[in-house]
Amino acid sequence: MKENVISLKVVLADGTIIKTKNRPRKSSNGYNLTGLFVGSEGTLGIIVEATLKLHVKPENEIVAIMNFNHIQEAAKTVTDIFRKGIVVNAVELMDDRQMKCIREMTQDIEGGRQWSDKNLLLFKLGGSPGALKDTVNRVKDICHQNNGFNLEIATSTEEKDEIWRTRKTQLWTSIDWAKQKIPNARAWPTDVAVPVSRLPHVIAETVADIEEHGLMTTVVGHVGDGNIHALVIFPPDKLAAAEAVVGKMVQRAIANEGTVSGEHGVGIGKRDFLVAELGQATVDTMRSVKLALDPLRLLNPDKIFKIDPFEERIDNC
């Protein structure tokens, strides 16, 4: 989304209203204040207006899905597609645990799709009729080279919406599924991002760690950019274990040249990992920017990092 923000109108902590940029797509005029505020999580100003870049809706677009027995095969498929220079409008991953959940929750729906419980890649492919046919064939060949199976291509609006709706509602499906498995189940959604080549390794280790702690999980990802979303499912008495596996997931991402969050943000929950990812000098630079724009510390204090790094936490105050 950040790539589609052209400019912002922002109210600063002292009430000053600024515009970060004019509308041209290209500009080398001064600091990139738009990017600064997009990533600030409300700590530098209040965004009151955004100018967004719009994309032309493809005249011809299909949705294709294919299963894989192993997550490594799915990840290699995506890497091979990108290396061939094939442009895809979207590529999403749902792991075998997520697919087992979807299968169990939808199998009794009359007339509904019968999903496989194997790892699934979902593609949106678009273009002119001739180019689209070529793209579909090339993607199909690469999938088969990596042992993909159960290829389905949806061309009607109803079919495409049905498949994509399953991906968009997977969080709620997973939560309903968890409540059937664990009384009073709680769910902790979290995300990290790593280079695509490290994706299978990070997913495998994360899932193993979660299950070794006696918890459950489902995993989806915007696999094109290595962004993993793991839903940690746990009973209320295992909150500490859930916190531990989320922390290890973040550390694992950093160790694999990744980031603490691809989309969800840092907030308070992941701020202690920011120094490990970026270094103390970088975080101190962010702190200097914060104090320059908000010297009275009015806006979301202590989000992303502690304003005073030497402040001791005092519980129950």
Segment 154-211, tens digit of pLDDT: 989 999 999 999 999 999 999 999 999 888 999 999 999 999 889 889 999 999 999 9
Which are the contacts of 278, defined by CB distance < 8 A and separation ≥ 6?
none
Coil, strand, or helix at residue 58? coil
Query: Could you give the CA distance from residue 71 to residue 146 in angstroms, rounded to a whole number?
Result: 11
pLDDT at 2: 87
pLDDT at 312: 62
Query: Could you give the CA distance from residue 194 to residue 75 in angstroms, rounded to a whole number?
Result: 12
What are the distances in angstroms from CA 272 to CA 41, 148, 249, 279?
A: 16, 40, 14, 11
pLDDT at 310: 78
Q: Greater confidence, 111 or 48?
A: 48
Coil, strand, or helix at residue 89? coil
CB 253 within 8 A of CB 192: yes
Coil, strand, or helix at residue 11? strand
Query: Could you give the CA distance from residue 18 to residue 272 in angstroms, rounded to a whole number?
Result: 31
CB 132 within 8 A of CB 60: yes
Coil, strand, or helix at residue 138? helix
Query: Could you give the CA distance from residue 70 to residue 140 in angstroms, rounded to a whole number?
Result: 17
CB 63 within 8 A of CB 132: no
Q: Greater confidence, 79 or 11?
A: 11
pLDDT at 14: 96
**One-letter amino acid for residue 187 of the chain:** A
pLDDT digit string (tens) for 295-317?
999 999 999 999 887 776 555 54
Average pLDDT value for residue range 271-299: 95
CB 311 within 8 A of CB 280: no
Query: Could you give the CA distance from residue 276 to residue 164 in angstroms, rounded to a whole number?
Result: 36
pLDDT at 108: 76
What is the rounded end-to-end Cα distance, in angstroms, of the chain?
38
Which are the contacts of 238, defined by CB distance < 8 A and separation ≥ 6?
213, 214, 215
- Burial-class residue 317 by CB neighbours within 10 Å (0-12, 13-18, 19+): exposed
Query: Could you give the CA distance from residue 74 to residue 86 in angstroms, rounded to a whole number?
Result: 16
Token code pair at residue 145: 């080279």
